[in-house]
Amino acid sequence: MPKTLEYIADHLPKVTVDEVRRFSDTVEVRDAQAFAAELEAFVQERLESVDLPSAMEIEVETVEQTLARKAAALRADTRWAPRETEIQRGRAAVLEAFDQPHNLPLPDFARLANKSRQQIYKDIEARRLLALNVGPRGQRLPDWQFDPVKQRLTQIVLQAAPEVDAWTLYRALSEPLEGLAGRSPVEAVTADSVDAVAKAVFNVLGVH
């Protein structure tokens, strides 16, 4: 028997006595159980007599084989790598954001917050403050963190997303979101909406 039909035959449901009763209006069945067995044997015989064309001969895939085949179809032949122009464009975008007036050098932020630099460093390390870094140019901190409500939102996001880098968090907090009527989270947040706005940020970050 071809493999396709063999698979079908092995997985074909058995004929039950209840199914035999469907014939009661057409024929008189004296022994339903015996009739069911005979009908089962008849179906098997008919399947064995079928001769499929070779083009219909297929191998039945396991779940693992199916997943492996689909995964292979999605795998690129070569690994993606950013081109030089893309790297330069990304670097320029980072520097432009870093130099925004609201991103203050650490000494200025510490002075305006009336804290020592050492305390600011500790707050950054403990993820109580968001700080941006561009290599030798030092660290800068968004000045929205002087606002108690915006600082609370920032801290909630920092604490809930410890594996997410600072630049990703910065963009998630400062860029407009459709769910916030086109406003950024730090613009939209109020004392009564901190949790709701934080949830919107988590949706963008994929943090649950």
**Tokens, residue 2:** 């071809």
- How large is the greatest C-alpha to C-alpha distance in the chain, in angstroms? 100
- Residue 199 near residue 163, CB atoms below 8 Å: no
Per-domain residue ranges of the chain: 3-74, 84-205
In the chain, alpha helices (H)? 3-11, 17-20, 32-49, 63-74, 84-98, 106-113, 117-125, 148-160, 166-174, 185-188, 194-205
Is the full-model pTM beyond 0.85? no
Q: How far apart are CA 159 and CA 206, in angstroms?
A: 15
d(CA 121, CA 113): 13
Q: Would you call 184 helix, strand, or coil by DSSP? A: coil
Task: Per-residue pLDDT tens, the chain, 208 aa: give them.
Answer: 555 556 565 666 776 767 766 766 676 767 767 777 777 777 777 766 766 555 544 555 666 677 777 666 666 666 655 566 655 665 677 778 888 999 999 999 999 999 999 999 999 999 999 999 887 778 999 999 999 999 999 999 999 999 999 999 999 999 999 889 999 999 999 999 999 999 999 998 988 7
Confirm if 20 and 39 have CB atoms less than 8 A apart: yes
